[in-house]
C-alpha cells in the first residue's frame, strides 16, 4: 500500500523505518515536561509548571504523528503481523495518549504543582522509556545480513519486505523455521510458490508487490545467507 512512498525514500538513500525518526519528538517533549514540572515543585515556580503543560500539548500533537508513522511502518515492514513487541508498543502508545490528554486537561484545572499532575508526568516518562525499549528491539532486530554487491538488489527486496519478520535470516514468529538453510530455497520455483501462497500468518507477496525478477534477486540473496 505504501511501497511507492518507501521506494521514494530508498531512492534518496533513506532505507530505515520512518517512525524512529519521528518518535524522538514526543519522547523528548515528555522528558522536558517532567523536568519542568519537577523544577516547578523544587523551586516553587508556577510559571515552570505552566511551561510543562505547554510542552505536554506539543507532545500530544507529535504523539499522533509518530503513531501514524508507526502504523505505516508496521504495515510495510511487518505486513500487519501482531508480533509481541508490536502489541506492547500499541498498548503503551495508547496509554501514553491517555496520559498526555489527562496532563493537558488537569494542567489547566489543578494547581500547577499538584501531585496528581506531577504523577501524570512521571507515568508518561516511564511509558516513553518502555516504548523506546520495545521500539529498539524492532529496529535493531530488523537488520539484513550484508552480502557482496552482486546480491545488493536482493538485499533491498529483503529489507523492504522480509526483514521485519525475518531479521538476520531468522524467523521471529516461528524461530524453528528460519530463512537460513530453509528447504524452500532448494529451487527457485519452490521459493516462488512459497512467497506467492505461504501458510498463515506469513503474508503473500503477489507480482504487484514482488515481481518475478525481484523474486529471483531475493532468492539469490536468501539462498546465500548461510554461505
Nearest one of 192, 160, 165 to 179, comparing CA atoms: 165
Q: Taking phi first (over 0 means left), then psi (-120 to 50 degrees means alpha), and beta for anything else, what does residue 77 get?
A: alpha
Residue 142 pLDDT > 60: no
Cβ-based burial of 98 (10 A; exposed 0-12, middle 13-18, buried ≥19) = middle
Which domains, ranges and CATH numbers included, belong to the chain? 3-141 (no CATH), 149-223 (1.10.760.10)
Residue 227 clears pLDDT 60, i.e. is over it: no
Tens-digit pLDDT profile for residues 17-43:
899 889 999 999 999 999 999 998 899
Question: Stretch 200-209: mean pLDDT, rounded?
Answer: 88
Helices (H), the chain: 3-11, 19-43, 46-77, 84-107, 115-141, 152-161, 188-196, 212-223
The number of residues in the chain equals 227
pLDDT tens-digit map of 103-124: 999 887 767 678 888 899 999 9
Q: Per-residue pLDDT averaged across 183-189, rounded?
A: 94
Model pLDDT, residue 9: 85
pTM of structure: 0.70
Amino acid at each position: 500500500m505504501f511501497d511507492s512512498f518507501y521506494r521514494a525514500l530508498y531512492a534518496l538513500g533513506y532505507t530505515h523505518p520512518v517512525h524512529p525518526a519521528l518518535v524522538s519528538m514526543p519522547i523528548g517533549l515528555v522528558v522536558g515536561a517532567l523536568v519542568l514540572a519537577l523544577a516547578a515543585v523544587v523551586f516553587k515556580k508556577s510559571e515552570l509548571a505552566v511551561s510543562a503543560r505547554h510542552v505536554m500539548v506539543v507532545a500530544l500533537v507529535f504523539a499522533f504523528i509518530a503513531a501514524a508513522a508507526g502504523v505505516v511502518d508496521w504495515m510495510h515492514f511487518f505486513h500487519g503481523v501482531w508480533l509481541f513487541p508490536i502489541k506492547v508498543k500499541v498498548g503503551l502508545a495508547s496509554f501514553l495518549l491517555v496520559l498526555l490528554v489527562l496532563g493537558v486537561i488537569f494542567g489547566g484545572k489543578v494547581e500547577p504543582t499538584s501531585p496528581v499532575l506531577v504523577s501524570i508526568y512521571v507515568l508518561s516518562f516511564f511509558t516513553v522509556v518502555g516504548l523506546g525499549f520495545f521500539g529498539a528491539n524492532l529496529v535493531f532486530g530488523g537488520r539484513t545480513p550484508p552480502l557482496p554487491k552482486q546480491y545488493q538488489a536482493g538485499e533491498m527486496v529483503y529489507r523492504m519486505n522480509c526483514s521485519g519478520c525475518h531479521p538476520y535470516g531468522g524467523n521471529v514468529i516461528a524461530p524453528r523455521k528460519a530463512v537460513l538453510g530453509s528447504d524452500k530455497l532448494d529451487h527457485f520455483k519452490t521459493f516462488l510458490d512459497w512467497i506467492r501462497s505461504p501458510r498463515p500468518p506469513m503474508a503473500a507477496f503477489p507480482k504487484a508487490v514482488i515481481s518475478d525478477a525481484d523474486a529471483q534477486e531475493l532468492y539469490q540473496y536468501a539462498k546465500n545467507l548461510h554461505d
